[in-house]
Amino acid sequence: MERLVELRGIVKRFPGVAANDGVDFELRCGEVHALLGENGAGKTTLVNILYGLYKPDEGEIYVRGRKVELKSPKDAISLGIGMVHQNFKLVESHTVLENIILGLKEDGLKIDFERHRGRIIKLAEKYGWRIDPGARIWQLSAGEKQQVELLKILYRGAEILILDEPTSVLTHQETRRLFEALRRMAREGKGIIFITHKLNEVMEVSDRVTVMRKGRVIITKETRETTKAELANYMIGRPVVFSQRKVSAQPGATVLKIVDLKVSGDRGYPAVNGVSLEVERGEILGIAGVSGNGQVELAEAIAGLRKPLAGRILLNGADVTGMDAGRMIEFGVAYIPPEGNKLGIVPEFRVVDNLFLKAYRYPPYSNKLLLNWGKMLEKARELVKEFGVVTPSVFSKARSLSGGNIQRLILARELSGIVGGTPRLIVATYPTKGLDVGAAEFVHDLLLRYKEMGSGIIFISEDLEELLLLSDRIAVMSGGRIRGVLTRGEADAEKIGLLMSEAAPQAG
Amino acid sequence: MIEWIESVLALTLQVGTVYLLASLGEIYAERSGILNLGLEGIMIMGAASSFIFTLAYGHLAAITVSIIVGVLMSLILALMAVYMRLNQTVAGLALTMLGLGLSGFLASPEVRKVILLALNPSLPEKFLAIQEAPKLPEIPVPTLSEIPVIGCFFRQNALVYFSYAAAPLMWFILFKTRPGLSLRSVGENPAAADAMGVSVFKVRCVATMVSGGFAGLAGAYLFLGFQPFWQEGLTAGKGFIALSLVILSTWNPLRALLGAYLFGGVEVIQYRLQLFGLGALSPYLLAMLPYLVAIAALVAVSIGSVRKRIGAPASLGIPYSREE
């Protein structure tokens, strides 16, 4: 089979990290080649090099057997390489057509809108997509935006397609349709590099798979000759065992007691509508439910970020209803927000600043007036090591970290007890969402460790598997109410699903 | 009455052209994501150089040099804002300060004399000390200029005619051509444009130079075509009015045409009201009128554009770099 792309000995160093460390990779005609690895394994760096966005420090690139030097995406495009980035690179206020023909050289000065229009519709139909070239990007769904991204590169006659985590924003159905289109493109003889960290997708859509870890290629295999377990093994570097270290909840003191809590949502009506709950020391209370049923508002009320409309919140017996987040922190409440990269860090701040967003106000890190940088740096370095945050240094900007490492940073800040010792209560909202297997496992281990140390934990998740794995009890939430609480012995996916659907989410 | 309207309209066109020329260029800069706050400074440098070069070599040379000076000044901004990725507000204001100071220095009688002699040693003595220059001649269009009321559109100087043509032409380039699409995309989402092989730096640099050239030309027009009498600080904030006109026009050259005459008209009516004695209370209150209209217009446009999603270019004022 003809080789479309060959990368030999690619090395790319960023300050302090070798993102690619001698990578060899090959793409053939007519194949979907999955590039599998955890966040930060170097997959995106590698394809950015192939697309001319980064210059490799060492190594050679061959396209259709010819050695090439890619100075910018322009060079890559002219060689028939196209890339769909993980975050869509579309001009939101422009039309589909304008986005597709952007940078195209074939027109004269004046754009022939009508001709492009017809050709775009025809091309889209070939892959079973119905798209209006005159629609503005902001009017489209995520799946349609992705179709525009693909059309952008197909319209230029790209033969080598790179898709960086294309399914992360898609619904199940949209993913299906994408896979169908990709298979079709492969049948046409195109070569497709499909970056992912989801094992199911590798098995479903790819012909071959290359596994990367820590900037190196571990193995390249025919997909049909491998298994999910084997791939997971290569990806993480050790067997993944979802073992449960069983810790019996120490019977005892109630950490958190919520009585008939009502909390207003962003749109004005109550998102939490009369919730009563209790969490004990050393207990993980899972909260199951389709997201958007009041879970985040409940968590925010407990963390002091949202004032309850009615009801009471008691922490260790003390009434803390309506206290602000600063007071809650002093009471020992740790809050892991949803969407950590948006709500959990200040992206432009350095790692050390982000670690001390809470603790900077308290001794020994500051007196009344001045910050004690010596103490803070010392502690920050300790935390980075302890929580395994992969970062060039504590002075790097938080923005530059991968998703998994951002979450580790947030966990380090919230759980390490730099304010007031081990947290009494941990409120974790979707702490593993968007993380790969290794990072999610780390979060699980950490929650179990704090459970052992006696923290009460509220664990909000959409993932039934992990809820059943970790929780001592599971409360099912829907329409702003708790529909039922199941203990570890009696909870299973079926019962939870039944409780979720028992009462349709209330509107208004 | 018709005569009064005609004279107000004629003056409106003349004042409006200053705003129009300046904002046409600025629209290109801002559409590419570069906020050129140096407009005022570039304009006055354009005015000062047109003053000196008219005396030395005549109108054509003066206009050409003003444009070149404008482009050169905008290159300073391009260097700071595009390549060094400095804060555009600070860089632009610095450019304004530079222009205001430098123009005052270069056009001051002593310095001017030295420059004039260096440019043209055979210049008669009387030109060395005068504060005025010959105004650009009006070129009436036959027949059209004799139409009552709107005839005044066709009794203008060459730069006004140029501005009539420039607005639709620049609209066409912006919305109907390939370079225009690249320009708009760079200002909205430079990363997207970069990924499609458009050079963000090049586009932004060229757009900034266009804004500089037009601002220089606006300065030349202000001096040669409107009030050919040099005084320091001659632009008197007109650059900033042009900046607000850019927003009022929602970054559209054709709307800028209308907006420029609106602002010009308000300014002229303000003069006229003073003549009627309405400024008796305080001329300063009336002088505020153009600025009040500018603010009111901005508020109105902002409310409307939030609804229709035609806001500022999404990456306006944000430096771009790739490897991050």
What number is the ipTM of this complex?
A: 0.84
Residues A42 and A57 in one domain: yes
Residues A328 and A374 in one domain: no
CA of B173, closest CA in chain A: separation in Å?
A: 8
Q: Which of A391, A418, A445 is the last residue of a domain?
A: A418
Q: Taking 80 as the threshold, does the pLDDT of residue A417 lie above it?
A: no
Residues A358 and A507 in one domain: no
Q: Taking 70 as the threshold, does the pLDDT of residue A502 lie above it?
A: no
Contact A349, A395 (CB under 8 A): no
> A154 to each of A54, A84, A97, B187, how far by Cα in Å?
22, 11, 13, 25
CATH of residue B174: 1.10.3470
Domain that includes residue A367, residue range: 341-418
Range in A247-251, B169-173, B247-251 with the lowest mean pLDDT? A247-251
Q: Label residue B304 by pLDDT band (50, 70, 90).
A: low
Tell me whether residues B189 and A92 touch, CB distance under 8 A.
Answer: yes
Range in A108-112, A390-394, B79-83, B298-302 with the lowest mean pLDDT? B298-302
Tell me whether residues B193 and A107 touch, CB distance under 8 A.
Answer: no
- Whether residue B320 is contained in a domain is answered as no
Q: By C-alpha distance, which of B300, B276, B296 is closest to B286?
A: B276
Q: Taking 90 as the threshold, does the pLDDT of residue B197 lie above it?
A: no
Residues A200 and A318 in one domain: no
Residues A320 and A360 in one domain: no
- Whether residue B139 is contained in a domain is answered as no
Q: Which of A393, A418, A443 is the last residue of a domain?
A: A418
Q: Taking 60 as the threshold, does the pLDDT of residue A250 lie above it?
A: no
pLDDT at position A65:
92
- Whether residue B136 is contained in a domain is answered as no
Residues A258 and A114 in one domain: no
pLDDT at position A103:
87
- State both tokens at A130: 């119905």
Angle at A162 between CA A406 and CA A29, to 5 degrees: 145
- Rounded Cα gap, residues A418 and A398, in angstroms: 19
B residues 283-322 near A, CB within 8 Å? 309-310, 314, 322
Q: Chain A contacts of B184, Cβ < 8 Å?
A: 91, 94
- Rounded Cα gap, residues A30 and A451, in angstroms: 51
Task: Round the average pLDDT of chain A to a whole number and report it.
Answer: 88
> A465 to each of A76, A293, A403, how far by Cα in Å?
42, 19, 21
pLDDT at position A233:
86
Dihedral Cα B121, B126, B131, B132, nearest 10 deg: -100
Report, as an integer, the average pLDDT of A151-174.
86
> CB-CB: which of A72, A103, A111 is closest to B177?
A111
pLDDT at position A507:
37
CA of A499, closest CA in chain B: separation in Å?
A: 41
B residues 248-287 near A, CB within 8 Å? none
Q: How many domains does chain A have?
A: 3
- Ranges of beta strands (E only) in A265-307 are 270-280, 284-288
Report, as an integer, the average pLDDT of A85-93.
88
Q: Chain A contacts of B310, Cβ < 8 Å?
A: 93
CA of A72, closest CA in chain B: separation in Å?
A: 7
- Whether residue B149 is contained in a domain is answered as no
Q: Which of A236, A269, A288 is the last residue of a domain?
A: A236
Q: Taking 90 as the threshold, does the pLDDT of residue B120 lie above it?
A: no
- Whether residue A145 is contained in a domain is answered as yes
Q: Label residue A508 by pLDDT band (50, 70, 90).
A: very low
Q: Tell me: the pLDDT tens digits for A351-360?
A: 999 999 888 8
- Whether residue B138 is contained in a domain is answered as no
Q: Taking 80 as the threshold, does the pLDDT of residue A295 lie above it?
A: yes
Closest chain A residue by Cα to residue B308: A93
Residue with tokens 């693909």: A150
Closest chain A residue by Cα to residue B324: A400
pLDDT at position A143:
84
pLDDT at position A261:
93
pLDDT at position A506:
40
pLDDT at position A289:
82
A77 interfacial to chain B (CB closer than 8 Å): yes
- Whether residue A243 is contained in a domain is answered as no
Closest chain B residue by Cα to residue A70: B197
Residues A150 and A40 in one domain: yes
Dihedral Cα A111, A113, A116, A120, nearest 10 deg: 140
Q: How many domains does chain B have?
A: 1
> Which of A71, A102, A156, A401 to mutate to probe the B interface, most B CBs <10 Å?
A102
A-to-B residue pairs, Cβ atoms closer than 8 angstroms: 78
CA of A204, closest CA in chain B: separation in Å?
A: 29
pLDDT at position B270:
83
- Whether residue B141 is contained in a domain is answered as no
CATH of residue A57: 3.40.50.300
Report, as an integer, the average pLDDT of A196-201.
84
- Rounded Cα gap, residues B228 and B14, in angstroms: 13
Report, as an integer, the average pLDDT of A500-504.
61
Q: Taking 50 as the threshold, does the pLDDT of residue A505 lie above it?
A: no
- Whether residue A192 is contained in a domain is answered as yes
Residues A122 and A265 in one domain: no
Contact B290, B266 (CB under 8 A): yes
Q: Taking 50 as the threshold, does the pLDDT of residue B315 lie above it?
A: yes
Contact A340, A406 (CB under 8 A): yes
Tell me the helices (H) and strands (E) count for chain B, helix number first. Answer: 13, 2
Q: Taking 80 as the threshold, does the pLDDT of residue B178 lie above it?
A: yes
Question: Residue B277: what are its φ and ψ, rounded to 5°?
Answer: 90, 5
- Whether residue A87 is contained in a domain is answered as yes
Q: Tell me: the pLDDT tens digits for B34-91?
A: 999 999 999 999 999 999 999 999 999 999 999 999 999 999 999 999 989 899 999 9
Domain that includes residue B297, residue range: 2-125+159-308
Residues A47 and A148 in one domain: yes
Q: Chain A contacts of B178, Cβ < 8 Å?
A: 101, 104-105, 107-111
> Which of B31, B169, B170, B189 to mutate to probe the A interface, most A CBs <10 Å?
B189
CA of B307, closest CA in chain A: separation in Å?
A: 13
Q: Which residue has the higher pLDDT, A245 or A253?
A: A253
Tell me whether residues A93 and B178 touch, CB distance under 8 A.
Answer: no
CA of B191, closest CA in chain A: separation in Å?
A: 6
Contact A146, A161 (CB under 8 A): no
% of chain A with per-residue pLDDT over 90: 53
- State both tokens at A91: 């001009």
Residues A306 and A354 in one domain: no
Q: Taking 70 as the threshold, does the pLDDT of residue A444 lie above it?
A: yes
Pairing of strands A32-37, A208-213: parallel
- Rounded Cα gap, residues A384 and A393, in angstroms: 9
- Whether residue A20 is contained in a domain is answered as yes
- Whether residue B43 is contained in a domain is answered as yes
- Whether residue B40 is contained in a domain is answered as yes
Q: What is the pTM of this model?
A: 0.73
Residues A38 and A123 in one domain: yes
Range in A4-13, B158-167, B265-274 with the lowest mean pLDDT? B265-274
Q: What share of chain B is helix, strand, coil (3-state, %, to 5)?
A: 75, 0, 25
Report, as an integer, the average pLDDT of B25-37.
96
Residues A289 and A389 in one domain: no
Question: Residue A311: what are its φ and ψ, rounded to 5°?
Answer: 95, 180
Q: Which residue has the higher pLDDT, A485 or B1?
A: A485
Q: Label residue B21 by pLDDT band (50, 70, 90).
A: very high
Residue with tokens 């798979």: A209
**A401: helix, coil or strand?**
coil
